[in-house]
Amino acid sequence: MPKLKIQKNHVDEIIRLENLCKRYRMGESVVQAVCEVNLGINKGEFVAIVGPSGSGKSTMMNMVGALDLASQGDIFLDGIDIEHLAESRLAQIRGRRIGFIFQTFNLIPTLNAVENVALPMIFQGIPRWKRIERAKKLLNEVKLSHRMYHLPNELSGGERQRVAIARALANDPEVILADEPTGNLDSKTGEEIMNMFMELNKQGKTIIMITHDPNLAKKARRVIKLKDGKIIK
């Protein structure tokens, strides 16, 4: 097993990408989705990653969130190189320290809102009564106390995204990764969701948001532009 890398510098950074590349083989061709990316993100930042379709935004987010492995390079989370962790430890870190929010919500259709929010806590060994108590508290915070026992198909798009945000917060993660979080929402609801992100950031959460919408990106404190898998600005 490769020796685990511990990064000692960049004390304010929670995430650092070094020489990060991701290649996919498609038949006889090799597609480079991300190429030689170097990037540091400080604790408590709100960063928007923007670029056209196919620029490598989602691929990069998946690697930052340990949902996919890099072909080359290193990803440091709070100084620890997560690219070389055992899967069991990686799953624990991913579940405890990173919250995910997706454009398509990714809720379990057979579980109600409380059960969906409580789900990530199961894998952290939290007792059922504590899971339910915290899930209800989070749903109240996202103003869904009146919809706790509804299934996803009984909720509007904005309500489903609020459930997804509450679920992302279930284990009180330091980092929230949001991939086109307003993509399936109307402009008014999207604005409400963005206000929630800004409030979470004020509370100290590090937020990394993938978007193709420059107007949404303006709400972040820093904007990183990708093109053809490379940072151009």
Span 161-198, pLDDT tens digits: 999 999 999 999 999 999 988 888 888 888 899 999 99
Q: Token match 């996803």: residue? A: 152
Is 225 a residue whose pLDDT tops 60? yes
pLDDT digits (tens, 9 = 90+) for 8-56: 445 589 999 899 888 888 888 888 888 888 999 999 999 999 988 878 8
> Which architecture does CATH list for 43-66+84-231?
3-Layer(aba) Sandwich (3.40)
What's the pTM? 0.88
Alpha helices in the chain (DSSP H): 57-64, 87-97, 113-122, 128-141, 157-168, 187-202, 214-217
pLDDT score recorded for residue 35: 86
The answer to whether the CB of 39 falls within 8 A of the CB of 113 is: no
| Cα gap 179→211, rounded to integer Å | 7
pLDDT score recorded for residue 158: 92
| Cα gap 165→67, rounded to integer Å | 18
Summary mean pLDDT of the chain? 88
| Cα gap 26→107, rounded to integer Å | 31
Selected residue with higher pLDDT from 5 and 98: 98
pLDDT score recorded for residue 1: 43
pLDDT score recorded for residue 168: 95
The answer to whether the CB of 19 falls within 8 A of the CB of 36 is: yes
Of 80, 110, 93, 66, the residue nearest 5 (C-alpha): 80
Residue ranges per domain, the chain? Answer: 43-66+84-231
